[in-house]
Structure 1
Amino acid sequence: MDVPADDDPFEAQRERASNPMRRLFDEYGRERSGTFAVGVAASVFARVLDLLPPLMLGIAVDAIFLNESEFSLPLVPDRWLPTDPETQFWLVVGIVLFSFLGGAVLHWFRNWGWNRFAQYVQHAIRTDTYDAMQRLNMTFFADKQTGEMMSVLSNDVNRLERFLNDGLNSAFRLGVMVVGIAALLFWMNWQLAIVALLPVPLIALFTYQFVKTIQPKYADVRSTVGQVNSRLENNLGGIQVIKTSNTESYEADRVEEVSGDYFDANWGAIETRIKFFPGLRVLAGLGFALTFTIGGLWVFRGEGPWLFTGTLRPGEFVTFILYSQRFIWPMAQFGQIINMYQRAYASAARVFGLMDEDAGIEERPDAAELVVDDGRVDYDDVTFGYGDETILDGVSFTAEGGDTVALVGPTGAGKSTALKLLLRMYDVDDGAIRVDGQDVRDVTLASLRDTIGYVSQETFLFYGTVRENITYGAFEASDEDVVAAAKAAEAHEFVTNLPDGYDTMVGERGVKLSGGQRQRLAIARAMLRDPDILILDEATSDVDTETEMLIQRSLDRLTADRTTFVIAHRLSTVKDADQIVVLDDGEVVERGSHEDLLATDGLYASLWSVQAGEIDDLPAEFVERATDRGARAETDGATTDQ
């Protein structure tokens, strides 16, 4: 089946890629032109030596065994050659042995050059593609699945390596064979050479039709393999939900569906391929049979059949048949090379299309280093939206240096988005965000993000040890600093009770630890960096009361003497904040201390009443809006913004 273009998450990127294969060589091949040249030169000379044995066989038959011609070698003056038949025989043996031994050495250099070149390009492209991908803004990742991006970094990059190592290598090898053999055939007998080359135009036309047919099919294959990877990655990541929901059969059906799409797309390409190659072999075989028939009659009769003139000696005929066979089959193998090229072209388009993706967040050429003195943060009439949807509208508030500011409000009010703008995960559409008077768009991204620590609700731990996760972002920290940060985060005690202490492996995404333990390691990580500004995004929402108490003690230490922003649904955790900013539908609707906001009896007071269990006296407007928000959430899907 053909996969619609909309099903390819990288369709837009792929269409923007211009001359991807030329870019592959211009941007990456030039840096390893030396190894490339070794591979090419060794391919050429190795194939030249491979052509010697059949030629020497024909010369030996005619000049030494049948004595029907003078002993001579191409490009070698006759005065340099021996006249004694036995010496001539041993010279032929020596040349044949030299061709095999020299060919073996040259084949080693050929393989070394091509493999070295292909491996370097694969390494460079993969690292550059990953680096380009990780610098894209968060909107890009919201539209893509991990499996789809892994497909580019793994499958597509590997396909380029296979083409450079196998396809391009074979192209040069076969090119030398075809050109060299064609030249020798015309040198020996131009009339019979024309017969041997008759299938070439037909093979070229057949190959052209194959390329036109197979190219869109390979685009379908690349799309569906990304969908398979995404489905498998999602399911393996959510295996606990699948088991607890008893949905193994449902997910098996979904995997079967996307795998079936890949099967259909891939089988469509395979069907085209398996029809093409036998067709090439038929054309090649007909050409060989015709050459053998005419050449055989020529030798058998002692004169040229039909319109052919002159003589054809037995040794020449043997050499001609060996060469023509070597010529026709390489012509058929060009189809496989074109097949590999089309696959590589589709992969290169996806890779370079991804590299060319607009990062969204650009650092200005004259960007300065952020200098933090007080840590004052100003939101000045900030407006931001995703596409046509406005998330924040005219948001203004100030966090004085060292203060703790809490952002509260209903789900979808824009709280997380507001703080992601401070980190420049996105850029504001209007207004400005300033740190000590410096617009965050005017400073370097590195200095901005080094200044800000971030602890989220969904703590991510990398596969590795406890120590490696705490020191992430502060890689040069000493063991003493790591222990001090863990103690401050109330993590040291449980870490020392782990099997290998700070060298304990935490497993994929920290699965060997509890949610509270992971959260405390994230806090230790932030403490070790000692940022000037701190963002706590629902840092205690998914833990039990006892663990929350421990984490809250850690946070009290972490927030001391630094500007802190706290996002919280559990309002009891932020009632002591210096300032509480209440957001609703992307606008600041209230601002003040806990006591002031309760006295105002507005949205904050209603939210507090809900958490206190006092729901009977809630304003009708609040209940109605809550119902509307719930309906929108069900319609639009679960929102990730807080």
Structure 2
Amino acid sequence: MAPTPQTTADPTPRRRPTLLRIATVIPLRRTLATMLLLALAGAAEGLGIASLLPLAAFMSPGGGQPTKGISAKIAEAIESIGLEPSIGLFVIILIAGMTLKAGLTIIAMSRVGRAGADVQTKMRLDLIDALLAARWSYYVRQPVGRFSASLSIEAMQAGEAYNALAKFLAELIQVLTYSLIVFLFSWQLGLLSLGVGLFMVLTLNRFVTSAKRQARKQKKRISSMVGGLTDLLVGIKPMKAMGRHARFQTLFERDAEQIRRAQRKQSFARETNKALQEPILAIVLAGGLWLSIGVMQQPPGQVIVMALLLARTVSTIGKAQQAFQNVRLTQAGFNAISNTIEMARAMREQSHGGETPTFERGLEFRDVNFGFGDAPVIRGASFVAPKGKVTTITGSSGAGKTTTVDLLLGLHEPTGGAILIDGRPLADLDLAAWRRMTGYVPQELMLFHDTLRANVTLGQPDFDEADVMRALEQAGSAEFVAGLPEGIDTVVGERGTRLSGGQRQRISIARALIHRPQILILDEATTALDPETERAIVENVIELTRTTGLTVIAISHQPAWAEASDNVVHLAEGKITRIERREERQAEPVALGPAA
């Protein structure tokens, strides 16, 4: 295998604030509609709480209808609509306001719950879309397990971040509502409430910061553990066979211990923040009651209303801080999956429409050069692979064989020369259409824990059972599949472990043949097989070429392919050292046409 290109990208030179990015994951109008409902709920609660002001006048000694201040104005407003101010009426307004507030809040938070689920889904789909559209060079630099953590944990935290932000905004609306009511009742009380709230926020903010820091550490370690376990399970067999899996247990225990510590510190910060709000509120209320009753000699009714308003205002500020803390706790996961999506999008493969490719004559490499950075991999490669023939590219490890195939498939672009398909440069053709004309079988087989049918069709509904059986027949696997108890509906096990190596290889070939490609590329596809199995597959592919006109490009350093091929291209250190032809045995390629 050739070395991996070390390219870097800066996908986010300028980024919007995190809270705004969270709010706009889904259409902003949905978030604004939810905020409108919460604002209406706040207004309804404000209406109910406002009824306490004239109630205080009725509850005062010698109480009756208020004659001055905001209470009198409320009473006048009641009279203007033809109602008689009374204790019963204001109690009804209080209950109605709080009930309406509860109903609107239920509707709003229901929308928040659905939106949070939509955020999770969108982040997952955006991640999948970005990964599938990325350039090949991006995949080979990323651990597979990292994406597992993004798809599960980080996407879930992104949804929770949206929910937490919505709840924070809801609490802010409550703070504004109560602050307005308090200032209407007494500007001195309003200033006191805001002062106490600000004191509480500043005093307890260190716990919010600490919780955010521990959440970030916890997210990092959990992602590392999930990613590492995913990668380990992919290759668990050799680890257990060599008795070396215990070492990984030690590494996971270390990660688990660090996660435990971060969780404990995060929990301490969160619960301390919540617990300290109550004594601060109690101290303020006690001082306020002493000042109002013992010093200012205020009527009990007004004191009760004042105490209620003060308690609700300060406690609501505390709830807003707790909600903001939850935003900080969950935004680490949101930022992580957002970064992964943005990095993958920055490495998006540049697809070009181009002309519709044809494959009537064959393909040609004409003086092709390619390298990773300053390290050349392919140097001046020129050869022809005629249509309907088997061409084997052979050479030692690191000679550039796989890179040659990657160039042919458009996974990399040559830095010099041209790759011609029927005489037309590959760069001028529709790359997606060209790839649909090819079948590809890699050295590292990938079968899914599903049925044979699903592994051959990859779940595409366009292929029916007849297509599956035809592909299996062409791959030489129909006989062994027919002998299975459930036939093509047999589950192959994780990575195809219920099948032998030769059977897995034939299923992979059937997968590459089901869409009737014009060219079949086998990249070291039989290297891990025993000579007899390899010979049988080679003979089967050669026969398929002779009967269907299929063009085959085989990457192999095994003699079985070289002996059976029409053309053998020898690579060494990125250079073609010689080309052997079964019939002519000449050393120079035949050009297919000008590089138009």
1:537 Cα deviation after fit: 1.3
- AA aligned to 1:274 is F
Distance 1:96 1:290, change over 3 A: closer
* Distance (Å, rounded) in 1 between the aligned partners of 2:455 and 2:199: 63
* Distance (Å, rounded) in 2 between the aligned partners of 1:112 and 1:223: 31
Name whichever of 569-578 and 579-588 sits farther off: 569-578
1:509 correspondence with 2:495: yes
1:196-239 Cα offsets, whole Å, 9 max, x none, are 22233334444665666666655444433322122111222222
1:551-601 Cα offsets, whole Å, 9 max, x none, are 23432244341322101122123312111111111111121136998x99x
1:47 correspondence with 2:48: no
Which of 344, 356, 363 is the equivalent residue of 2:342?
A: 356
Name whichever of 568-577 and 326-335 sits farther off: 326-335
* Distance (Å, rounded) in 1 between the aligned partners of 2:349 and 2:294: 79
Distance 1:259 1:387, change over 3 A: farther
Is the 2:456–2:514 Cα contact (8 Å) retained in structure 1? yes
* Secondary structure at 2:564 match in 1: coil
* Distance (Å, rounded) in 1 between the aligned partners of 2:460 and 2:254: 45
1:20-54 Cα offsets, whole Å, 9 max, x none, are 63673686333x62x32342122222234345565
- AA aligned to 1:319 is V
1:565 correspondence with 2:531: no
Corresponding residue of 1:78: 79
* Distance (Å, rounded) in 2 between the aligned partners of 1:393 and 1:23: 50
Which of 266, 287, 290 is the equivalent residue of 1:293?
A: 287
1:127 Cα deviation after fit: 0.8
1:188 correspondence with 2:182: no
- AA aligned to 2:438 is I
Is the 2:60–2:299 Cα contact (8 Å) retained in structure 1? no
Aligned length: 572
- AA aligned to 2:247 is Y
Corresponding residue of 1:274: 268
* Distance (Å, rounded) in 2 between the aligned partners of 1:451 and 1:246: 45
Cα root mean square deviation, aligned? 3.3
1:339 correspondence with 2:325: yes
1:90 correspondence with 2:88: yes
Distance 1:18 1:74, change over 3 A: farther
Which of 345, 363, 368 is the equivalent residue of 2:354?
A: 368
Corresponding residue of 1:408: 394
- AA aligned to 1:238 is G
Corresponding residue of 1:435: 421
Which of 360, 369, 380 is the equivalent residue of 1:394?
A: 380
* Distance (Å, rounded) in 2 between the aligned partners of 1:130 and 1:571: 41
Is the 2:214–2:265 Cα contact (8 Å) retained in structure 1? no
1:261 Cα deviation after fit: 4.4
* Distance (Å, rounded) in 1 between the aligned partners of 2:146 and 2:59: 66
* Distance (Å, rounded) in 1 between the aligned partners of 2:133 and 2:480: 35
How do 1:226-245 and structure 2 match up within 5 A? 226-245=223-242
1:422 correspondence with 2:421: no
Is the 2:369–2:380 Cα contact (8 Å) retained in structure 1? yes
Distance 1:216 1:389, change over 3 A: farther
Corresponding residue of 2:118: 120
1:29 correspondence with 2:60: no
Name whichever of 333-342 and 67-76 sits farther off: 67-76
1:281 Cα deviation after fit: 5.3
How do 1:141-540 and structure 2 match up within 5 A? 141-165=139-163, 167-206=164-203, 218-263=215-260, 266-267=262-263, 271=265, 274-275=268-269, 278=272, 282=276, 285-286=279-280, 288-301=282-295, 303=297, 312-357=298-343, 358-359=346-347, 361-364=349-352, 367-472=353-458, 475-540=461-526
Name whichever of 492-501 and 377-386 sits farther off: 492-501
* Distance (Å, rounded) in 2 between the aligned partners of 1:126 and 1:576: 47
* Distance (Å, rounded) in 1 between the aligned partners of 2:521 and 2:65: 92
- AA aligned to 1:249 is A
* Distance (Å, rounded) in 2 between the aligned partners of 1:369 and 1:24: 40
* Secondary structure at 1:385 match in 2: strand
Distance 1:454 1:109, change over 3 A: same
1:221-279 Cα offsets, whole Å, 9 max, x none, are 44333221221112222222222112232221122233344445x35xx6377347635
Show structure 2 runs of 5+ residues with no match.
1-5, 588-596
1:517-544 Cα offsets, whole Å, 9 max, x none, are 2211111122211111210112222234
* Distance (Å, rounded) in 1 between the aligned partners of 2:571 and 2:377: 11
Is the 1:182–1:327 Cα contact (8 Å) retained in structure 2? yes
* Secondary structure at 2:131 match in 1: helix
Which of 30, 42, 63 is the equivalent residue of 2:58?
A: 63
Corresponding residue of 2:590: none
Is the 2:453–2:468 Cα contact (8 Å) retained in structure 1? yes
Distance 1:343 1:421, change over 3 A: farther
- AA aligned to 2:63 is E
* Distance (Å, rounded) in 1 between the aligned partners of 2:8 and 2:404: 31
* Distance (Å, rounded) in 2 between the aligned partners of 1:104 and 1:213: 33
Is the 1:171–1:337 Cα contact (8 Å) retained in structure 2? yes
* Secondary structure at 1:581 match in 2: strand
* Secondary structure at 2:563 match in 1: coil
Is the 2:146–2:224 Cα contact (8 Å) retained in structure 1? yes
So what's the TM-score if we normalise by structure 1? 0.80
Distance 1:240 1:128, change over 3 A: same
1:302 Cα deviation after fit: 5.2
Name whichever of 47-56 and 576-585 sits farther off: 47-56
* Distance (Å, rounded) in 2 between the aligned partners of 1:103 and 1:499: 63
1:295 Cα deviation after fit: 3.5
Report % sequence identity. Answer: 24
Corresponding residue of 1:592: 580
1:133 correspondence with 2:131: yes
Is the 1:196–1:288 Cα contact (8 Å) retained in structure 2? no
